[in-house]
Structure formats: C-alpha cells, structure tokens
Structure 1
C-alpha cells in the first residue's frame, strides 16, 4: 500500500483511483465529493472542476465499477448523468440547510472548515445575479458550495431554485466530463498525446481558468469600494 500524502487530498486522480480491499470505489467517491462540494459547508476545499474533467478521461474505468459498457459514449453519458444527479441533490441539501439555519451562519465564528468571508462573498454574488447565480456558481470553486445555502437563507422561491439547480448541474457536469473525455481522445488519436501523463498541469490550468477571473473581480470590487 502506497504511503498517504496530504497533498493527495487536492489531487483528483487520487480519488478516482481509490480502492478498498482491492475493490475500486472511485465512482462512489466522485459522487460523494460532488455532493459534498455543492451541499456541505466543509466541501469547498475538495477538487471539483478538475475532478469532473478527469472523470471524463477515466469514464470507462469508473463505470466498470457498476457495470461493463462497451460504448464509449454511453460510459461518458452515464458518468455525467450520475454526477449531475449528485450535484442536484447536493444543492437541494444546501438550500434546505440554509433555509433551516437562517441567520445562525452569519453569527457563527470562523473555524478550520468554515470561513464567514466565503458566506458574504457568495451572498453578494447571489444578490447581484439572482437566479442566474445558481448557474454561474457551479463553475466557481468555493462559491458553488455557499450559493445554494445563501439561496435557502434568502428564501428564494423553491420552484425557481430547483429549475436553475437542474440546469446548472447538467451544464456543469456534462460540459466538463464530455470535454475531458473527447479532448483526451482527440489528442491521443490525432497526435499521440496522452493527457494522463500531464495530470498535474491539467489541474493547474483548470484551477487557473475557474478561479483567476473570480479573484480579479473581487480585487476590482474592493478597489472600487475604496
């Protein structure tokens, strides 16, 4: 058994290849992480976008934990559908938690896993974009964890929330998983370039794409307030 490294916790490939007693459990771990990142306060530090992208690359291996499917397309479709469902359920849980907890979260002290500033940043994001924030938030690390909770705290109309929740989860999961799979296949078949040999770079690029614009926006907003 390989020695555990704390750095593995932010490495999506670690979760996809997890085994227990010789049995692969990567698919179940991926689904739980998606649920946790979109529904639990403690899920903001987990890999999201990069995990989905890699799930597209390893879709056949992941689906083989449930059943053997020969069709490449069906493997990707099934993984994307399961991830979308996990994301929908996660957001519903976050909404329910927000509706039940109310203002308690705003009075809660910062802890190791909970940072109040993330709550306020998500609230500002939600108030600015309304229902569209549910869709936008899916593609933004940290924000996607807190936005459904804020929607619950703000008593957003449940039917409206469910609509945007379903649309956003499908868009997020299908775009990243299908992009991962077919970009991997295209580069491998056309140029013999294997993306699995450059996982670290993929993670860095995806994190940069998803977080840098958000960080720049926050910096601009803070400067504008001064």
Structure 2
C-alpha cells in the first residue's frame, strides 16, 4: 500500500497504466481517499517531459487516458451514491473514512453549487473522492453531473500534467532536488481550502 501513496514509485514502477488505475480508484472508490491525485498527475507530467525519473511516459497517452480514468471513476462514484444512498456514508469513523470529511464535502457542495463544486473540488483532497457519490446521494441531475464531470476531468488532469511536463522539459540531470519540494508545495496548496474551512469553524 505504501508504494501506492508514493507518486514517484507509481510512475517509475507502473508507468501510465499505474497512473490511470490509481486515478480511477482515487476518484471512484471511498478507499481511494488516501491516494495521491494532484501530485501523481504532476509527477506523471514530469516523466513525460524528462527521463530523469528512469522512465519516460507518453504525454499524448497521459492526456488521453488520465481524463478518461478521472471521468469514469467519478461516474462510478455517482452510481454508487445513487445505489446505496445515505447509508454509504452512515458508517463508523475509521483511519481512512470519517464523518467530518463527509460534512466538509457536503459543505463544499452546498456552498459552491454542483458545477463549481465538481470543477474546483477536483483540486481538493477528500472532496475529490467524496463529491461524486455525494452528487449521487443528493440525486443531482444525471446529465448535468456527466457534463460537469467530463469538463472537470479534462481541466484537472490536463492542467496539472502540462505544468509537470513543461517543468520536466526545462530540468536537466537529476530532478530529485526539485521533486520533493514541488510535490510538497502541491499538497500544501491543495489543502489550503480545507484549512480555511477549519479556521472559520474555530472562529
């Protein structure tokens, strides 16, 4: 399991297939809440721009299959939400899943509305995984969900892949000294919305 939490390990050992499968699980299944998303896409983009990771991926393949994986994963999440309803979230808190995360995702959905929540939620850990089943539970119109899901899947995956690719093209030699700080920065930036909501609740 540890390797599936390490974007570099996924990319270097499993390549494009590993990236696609991980994205699908992260977006489509509740267990995917712990998997990397933003950082994995960024590292995959890097690996398309340079072979410094020991493997070079095809940018074209990533730009085709990553949006598809993100789209299909979210569609699965939606259908799971429709099928099981609120009982899907009515479970005891555990290491991976807890009610606080559900409440946060619901707050995000209600605050921004379905369209914005689905698009911007792609960039937020926890929300990214819970948003689709939540849309199903709330019986969001299927056509609207599919539209926003498809649009968000393309925007999210493409934007991060391209940033990683462009940086990879400009880095010569080992990228180890850049990788950890940049991935760390991505994680921090993606957690800012979560931290803001936590601070608001404490005031």
TM-score (norm 2): 0.89
Alignment equivalent of 1:109, drawn from 92, 97, 101? 92
Bigger radius of gyration: 1
**Unpaired stretches in structure 2, ≥5 consecutive residues:** 50-54
Per the alignment, residue 21 of structure 2 pairs with 32
Aligned CA-pair RMSD: 1.9
- Higher RCO structure, 1 or 2 (CA under 8 Å, sep 6+): 2
1:97 & 1:177 partners in 2: Cα distance? 28
Q: 2:83 aligns with which of 100, 107, 117?
A: 100
Cα shift at 1:198: 2.6
Equivalent in the alignment of 1:69: none
**Distance in 2 separating the partners of 1:127 and 1:213:** 15
Aligned residues of 1:27 and 1:62 also touching (Cα < 8 A): no
In 2 relative to 1, CA 120–217 (structure 1 residues): closer, same or farther, beyond 3 Å? closer
Instruction: State the match for 2:139 in structure 1.
Output: 155
Among 52, 56, 69, the alignment partner of 2:45 is 56
Counterpart Cα distance in 2 of 1:99 and 1:161: 12
- Length, aligned pairs only: 197
TM-score computed with the length of structure 1 as normaliser: 0.81
The answer on 1:210 being equivalent to 2:179 is no
Is 1:175 aligned with 2:159? yes
| Structure 1 residue runs without a partner (length 5+) | 19-24, 64-74
Q: Deviations over 1:3-41 (max 9, x none)?
A: xx94x44320011122xxxxxx32211111101111100
Cα drift, residue 107 of structure 1? 2.3
Aligned to 2:32: 43
Aligned mates of 1:202, 1:77 — CA distance in 2: 23
Secondary structure of the corresponding residue to residue 140 of structure 2: coil
Alpha-carbon contact 1:94-1:149 (below 8 Å) kept: yes
